[in-house]
Amino acid sequence: MTQATYVRTALLALADLTPFPGNAKRGDVRAILESLRRNGQYRALVTRELPGAPLVVLAGNHTAQALHAHGAGDCGHEACGVCGNDPAWTPAARCEVVVCDEDTARRINLVDNRAADLGSYDPDDLAELLSFLNEDYSGTGYQDADVERLLAPPPSLEELADTYRDPEDEGMWPVLRFTVPPEDRDGFYDLTAGCSNPGDDATRFRYLLDRARAAPDPQQPADPPHDHEQGSPRP
């Protein structure tokens, strides 16, 4: 068993770094860049030193991508925490340099990506932290909509089941409402007077549908009349 050995901390040009080969994580580079511009680089990349080769980024690959996306020079962002609004700024990152073997390098990359996934949040503590920001969430990774969902989360399936009836229940069936002239209303009642329950408009409507389905299709040609005595079509 081996462990990583710390060597030094240094500000290194991005051109001297190489991403970890096969890094499986797909991070939100835009959100990280927003944080860097607002907060600065508050955490160093972890890089592996290899003899005669560029340093390999074990942890912080997406931070390196965000710094690269910033580009050289002044980005124009007010009080940028990356370039400091210096036109001569060259893309670079603060790095902790370690030495380790291949197995340890893979383990560091894997756990750095996975550890955050295994965590969870206390929604009350999170809401309290966000409340101190006076609705300015830049550099936090949160948007107004995220906070709204946190303060008023959608109901759970159990809560929906308690509030609403089963979808098979008639109470969840669609409701049809439309306006017709008086003569059409009277025609509807005349045509459905023979239904099983004239006091219920839904029964009347189903009765009318059944009659319409049973009626001949006007698009189908009618059979020609026949002369019953001669047994042949009339001329």
Which residues make Cβ contacts (< 8 Å) with residue 87, sequence separation at least 6?
73, 74
Residue-by-residue pLDDT tens, the chain, 235 positions: 689 999 999 999 999 999 999 999 999 999 999 999 999 999 999 999 999 999 999 999 999 999 999 999 999 999 999 999 999 999 999 999 999 999 999 999 999 999 989 999 998 899 999 999 999 999 999 999 888 888 877 777 777 666 665 656 666 677 787 788 888 888 888 899 889 988 888 888 989 999 888 888 766 666 665 555 444 444 4
Q: Which DSSP letter does residue 152 get?
A: S
- Give me the pLDDT at residue 234, please: 47
d(CA 188, CA 182): 10
From 64, 61, 52, select the one nearest 21 (Cα to Cα): 61
Give the pairing of strands 226-227 and 232-233.
Answer: antiparallel
Angle at 24 between CA 11 and CA 149, to 5 degrees: 90
- Give me the pLDDT at residue 186, please: 85
d(CA 63, CA 31): 10
- Give me the pLDDT at residue 217, please: 73
From 189, 186, 182, select the one nearest 204 (Cα to Cα): 189
Token pair, residue 188, equals 């509807």
Q: What is the pLDDT of residues 206-235, one digit of tens each?
A: 899 998 888 887 666 666 655 554 444 444
- Give me the pLDDT at residue 221, please: 64
- Give me the pLDDT at residue 49, please: 96
CATH number of 5-119: 3.90.1530.10
Specify the pTM. Answer: 0.64
d(CA 151, CA 161): 22
